[in-house]
Chain A
């Protein structure tokens, strides 16, 4: 019999709620209260998340964010700044000791990215893992990923770009040298793609989530069973949102 993992779909949350939920599930799983969990989610309003080690003011144009109604949050994972707009974001939370998770961090990135790649394949898209933390198709990035390990538990979250607006993304990021901004935008346009660009049609969250569910099930040989957050996870995520992810202390700590 296949192992059953929990599947959560939580669309349209704010940046701080999304990061609080990931952390709450991590804590809940680390205490053995829930099974390994895969979550698919979106951001409303659109948001920029920055890596744990990044400086918010250094990376993000906060005035433009305010003007365009774009939210921002610091993640508990490392990595770079990401503009979350037309994308499916996934997270997976699983004990470090689970036999499916390599002890080696880079190897475990590859393994989890394998699930996303299998999901893309269900949409007719061939892709490959580009260490450290990207998935590329035809040489262009279609997914970025970031992992942390806390309390003997792995949390990896990442993006699957359904559509991409590089100009908007760049208007929100601080570019140190205005002179090379156009060149940088051109380079990123060359280096980033989306499901829409590849398939030549629009794709929505539901269709992407369906493919990703199959991808995770195949990669890990499990059955993802639709579930909900536990009462304790909801309480915990509210606490983390209030005390951490929505605070100036957290978001501006670097």
Chain B
């Protein structure tokens, strides 16, 4: 198997957009990814299905859902799979964590009230007011103005190893330990990739906001003025 890196643009599409045409290397990379996925991952589906049936105590429908989730995730995280290493082990880890998280979610459904309370409890009472309070920082306002596809583009353009961690931690809600297991890396590496990934995203999104003509400085001033006003009221 040749080790091919795909979708690792050294510059971001956004910054490059003037030069970009419709047939991009990213599209070719996507086709290659699909080919690898179908050749390597899909054939293992029957074997994983047996595992899934084990996890769901032979509930076929649940097992199928589980497999669908697992393969959908595997496709998303494909860039983080190290070609030539044990793909079955990798898929099985994703399956296991998907299964655990699903059970956790179901349990959550059964006791929504309890968990609602716990979410606050975990962050502490004051934290709740911190996040809910509508003091919008200037930065937060800039972020709000961005369109979803811009954010998605920025995430897609991260290096695969960063993208995987960002996706798993922020979108899929995996714990650091779970991410470390699935990617076969240390927790410290998960942390540094998440930090750096978010830092890059922030920079890219700011650049983009700037290109779009959204005036970051003006927003900062506005926010500051509001803060001062609010302070004066106190």
- Chains A and B are bound partners: no
Interface residues of B (CB under 8 A from A): none
Interface residues of A (CB under 8 A from B): none
